[in-house]
């Protein structure tokens, strides 16, 4: 089944403790992206990657890191999490740029992160 | 800042009724997309309308686009309880590879 898999689904951590949220897609998509979703703010893009070894900042990249060493994986790293990073995180992928016809975004089921 | 803004923020209707929601955006676009999100789940792509199209249909969905007003509408006809979800518009205006979403319209369809 074609899918985007995020892990974990739920994560509770403390301020300053480094964490990684994994994301993997099995559709051979070139484009991958991370979003965070907060009430009333919709989805805001954190980072995106057009292909292997190519990453770019989205609208809210501060406090996050990503890497794209393999086409299928795009982990999100929080080196020193803070309470304002408590949010619902989504990984997504698409064949090419998601603004193109026939290249819609496919989303994972989300990771709910709480930082205390 | 958000490119797309949905209106209304929330909508409650009964099964069988039509649901209409609107999206306004700020800058020129190539395409506009609509996505659905069931509670707490990932978004699912519904439909894409190109900037040179004015109307598009997919099943019970009808999307219109008015580039002169920088707005789009999504109409769900004969709504069902399963249509209960949040609906988001997304645009690619800012730059290649960046798809920006609005805050969404929460739709509740009661039997």
Q: What is the pLDDT of residues A8-33, one digit of tens each?
A: 999 999 999 999 999 999 999 999 99
Q: What is the pLDDT of residue B87?
A: 96
Q: What is the pLDDT of residue B65?
A: 97
Q: What is the pLDDT of residue A100?
A: 83
A95 has a chain B CB within 8 A of its CB: no
* Residue from the list A101, A105, A109 with its beta carbon closest to the beta carbon of B99: A105
pLDDT exceeds 80 at position B2: no
B99 has a chain A CB within 8 A of its CB: yes
Asked whether the beta carbons of residue A97 and residue B92 sit closer than 8 angstroms, the reply is yes
- Cα gap A4→A108, rounded to integer Å: 5
Task: Enter the tokens of residue A92.
Answer: 């997504």
* Residue from the list B42, B98, B102 with its beta carbon closest to the beta carbon of A110: B42
Q: What is the pLDDT of residues A41-88, one digit of tens each?
A: 889 999 999 999 999 999 999 999 999 999 999 999 999 999 999 999
Q: What is the pLDDT of residues A86-102, one digit of tens each?
A: 999 999 999 988 888 88
- For every residue of B20-77, which 3-state class applies, written as one string? EEEEEECCCCCEEEEEEECCCCCEEEEEEEECCCCEEEECCEEEEEECCCCEEEEEEC
Q: What is the pLDDT of residues B42-82, one digit of tens each?
A: 999 999 999 999 999 999 999 999 999 999 999 999 999 99
B38 has a chain A CB within 8 A of its CB: no
Distances in Å between the alpha carbon of A115 and those of A4, A14, A67?
Answer: 24, 5, 22
pLDDT grade, residue B1 (50/70/90)?
very low
* Residue from the list B42, B45, B96 with its beta carbon closest to the beta carbon of A104: B45
């Amino acid at each position: 089944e074609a899918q985007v898999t995020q892990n974990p689904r739920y994560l509770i951590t403390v301020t300053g403790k480094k964490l990684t949220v994994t994301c993997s897609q099995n559709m051979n998509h070139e484009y991958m992206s991370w979003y965070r979703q907060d009430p009333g703010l919709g989805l805001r893009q954190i980072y995106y990657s057009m292909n292997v070894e190519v990453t770019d900042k989205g609208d809210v990249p501060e406090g996050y890191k990503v890497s794209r060493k393999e086409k299928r994986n795009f982990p999100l790293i929080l080196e020193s999490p803070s309470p304002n990073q408590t949010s619902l995180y989504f990984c997504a992928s698409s064949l090419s740029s998601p603004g193109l016809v026939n290249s819609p975004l496919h989303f994972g089921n989300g990771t709910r992160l709480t930082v205390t | 800042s958000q490119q797309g803004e949905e209106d209304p923020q929330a909508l409650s209707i009964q099964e069988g009724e039509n649901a209409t929601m609107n999206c306004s955006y700020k800058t020129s676009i190539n395409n506009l997309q609509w996505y659905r999100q069931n509670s707490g789940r990932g978004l699912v792509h519904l439909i894409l309308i190109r900037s040179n199209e004015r109307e598009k249909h997919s099943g019970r969905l009808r999307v219109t686009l008015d580039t002169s007003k920088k707005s789009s509408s999504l109409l769900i006809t004969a709504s069902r309880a399963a249509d209960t979800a949040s609906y988001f518009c997304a645009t690619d205006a800012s730059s290649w590879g960046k798809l920006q979403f609005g805050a969404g319209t929460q739709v509740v369809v009661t039997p």
